[in-house]
Chains A and B, each alone.
Chain A
Amino acid sequence: MLTGANKLVSIQHSLQTKLTFSFIILILLIAGMTFIYTYGETKNALKASIRDELIEIAGSDSTQINGDQVAEIKAGDEGSQKYLAIRDELWKLRSRSTVTKNLYLFRVNNSNLEFIVDDLYGIDPDYAKTGESYDSPDHDLIIGAQSNATASNEFYTDKWGTFLSGYAPVTDSKGNVVAVLGVDMRADNVIARENFIGNTIYLILAISIIIAGCMIAFFSRTIIRDIKKLNASAEKISLGDMDVMVDVERKDEIGELAHSFSRMVTSLKIMMMHDDKKE
């Protein structure tokens, strides 16, 4: 009779415990590595796709802005008809997209960035005033955006929040670049998309782990059950009981072991009967 402590030691040393724990650790390791890799790759792919989206939006919106009017706007023009016309155009463009948050125009003045029109005018008292210089973390990208549309490589934070932005050149009727259009997407939008993907991967992995765990538990249980049957038969024979039939029918290695064992038992029975007859 096994005592409580002995039973615990027996469970600890059992093949089923070892197999189950090994598989669980293996599954967790694989699932963890898969999660880290997939999530990282998906995040990068998502960011790349959002950058492309921002570049496309900025590139397309910049062609809708009247560059000649933009070129005429100077410091202190806020509230003027020209300013309001451009700002209204920015509002219209913003309302066309569900992902963009703010639109604004810069002028590059001796490598310095100056705001021209901010679509926050009339909404937020903290809008960027015309001529106000802007020390952007994307400074070099914005300078480069005078020739080609581009977008932030990473999130950046300024006094208006944390964003990923797209930039594209605005030209006048003669084709001269007169401004750079900035299109902001709020970080929380992107983070929400990342979280959704992360949670989906997490859910898929959790379901896979549960299914794999159930399969392991089932297979290890049937294997151990048949090994226990073989063990019980061997124990009976070792104690002199030869009326043993090995009741294990499997097509795997355990089945082969059972067949070999069964053949050995049969042989022993025949030999013992032969000896009995001789006596």
Chain B
Amino acid sequence: MMSELSDRILTISLVYLGPAAKMFLERQTLAHMDKLKFEDITPSHLPELVKWINISGGLLIGAEKAKEFGEKIRSIS
């Protein structure tokens, strides 16, 4: 069951990453954030998620877009 926060993150991510956005977010939280499930994300995890969006997302969509994407996620809190 998705929390309201994870739902909002996913909505923003879909714009940048398309239908595989959830897959990307799950991979970032599981691999880089102590095996955290994406559904369990809380506002305190957002800075770390933004960091990994900049790193991993930058490889996929370019650094500039990844930064823009990250700022949108950061602004949720």
The chain A residues found within 8 Å of chain B, CB to CB, are: 245, 262-264, 266-271, 274, 277
Check if B16 is an interface residue, CB within 8 A of chain A.
yes
Q: Which of A245, A262, A271, A277 contacts B20 (CB 8 A)?
A: A271
In angstroms, how far is the closest chain B Cβ from the Cβ of A272? 9
Residues of B within 8 A of A269 (CB): 20, 60
Please give, as numbers and ranges, the residues of chain A lying within 8 Å of B18 by CB-CB distance: 263-264, 266-267
Contacts of B17 in A (CB 8 A): 263, 266-267, 270
**Tally of A-B residue pairs with Cβ under 8 A?**
34
Q: How far is the CB of B59 from chain A (nearest CB, A)?
A: 9
- The closest CB in chain B to the CB of A259 belongs to B15
B-side interface residues, number (CB < 8 Å): 13
CB neighbours of B60 from chain A (8 A) = 266, 269-270
Q: How far is the CA of A268 from the CA of B60 in the complex (A)?
A: 10
9 further interface pairs, Cβ-Cβ under 8 Å (given A263-B16, A263-B18, A270-B60): A262-B61, A266-B16, A266-B17, A266-B60, A266-B61, A269-B20, A270-B21, A274-B27, A277-B27
Contacts of B21 in A (CB 8 A): 267, 270
CA distance A269 to B59 in the complex (A): 10
Report Cα–Cα, A245/B58, bound state, in Å. 11
| Residues of the B chain whose Cβ atoms lie less than 8 Å from the Cβ of A277 | 27
**A270-B24 contact in complex given A245-B62, A262-B61, C-beta closer than 8 Å:** yes
- Asked whether A263 lies within 8 Å of B27 as measured between CB atoms, the reply is no
B19 interface residue per 8 A CB criterion = yes
Chain A residue nearest to B22 (CB atoms) is A270
B1 contacts chain A at the CB level, 8 A cutoff: no
Q: How far is the CB of B52 from chain A (nearest CB, A)?
A: 14
Interface string of B46-77 (1 = CB under 8 A from A): 00000000000000111000000000000000
**CB atoms of B23 and A274 under 8 A apart:** yes
